[in-house]
């Protein structure tokens, strides 16, 4: 839902973690539904391209998820 916000993340070559806020504890059913969606996306095996760009070049782009309140350096990973 719209009330859920990303609160952090971790990415390396072997795993990722996505931290998020929610207005209540997730039920076991909620966790299973999320896990199912995530695993389906993983199995799609879509290609991922990562590059570094100047923040000034990408800020405001609708294709980039930006968290306003977060501080970004001059170079960001997109």
Residue-wise pLDDT tens digits, 2-42: 888 888 888 887 888 888 999 999 999 999 999 999 999 99
Domain segments of the chain: what residues?
1-46, 48-78
- Give mean pLDDT, residues 31-59: 91
Instruction: Spell out where 3-45 has E strands.
Output: 5-11, 16-21
> Pick from 45, 48, 55, 46: which is nearest to 77 by CA?
55
Structure confidence at residue 50 (pLDDT): 83
Structure confidence at residue 63 (pLDDT): 73
Q: Are strands 52-54 and 75-77 parallel, antiparallel or unpaired?
A: antiparallel
Distance between CA atoms of residues 49 and 52, nearest Å: 10
Phi-psi region at 49: left, alpha or beta (left = phi > 0; alpha = psi -120 to 50)? beta
Structure confidence at residue 68 (pLDDT): 62
- Give mean pLDDT, residues 56-76: 79
């Amino acid at each position: 839902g719209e009330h859920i916000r990303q609160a952090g993340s971790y990415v390396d070559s072997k795993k990722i973690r996505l931290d998020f806020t929610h207005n209540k504890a997730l039920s076991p059913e909620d966790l299973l539904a999320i896990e199912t969606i995530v695993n389906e996306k993983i199995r799609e095996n879509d290609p991922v391209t990562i590059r570094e760009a100047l923040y000034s070049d990408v800020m405001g782009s609708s294709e980039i998820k930006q968290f306003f309140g977060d501080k970004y350096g001059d170079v960001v990973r997109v």
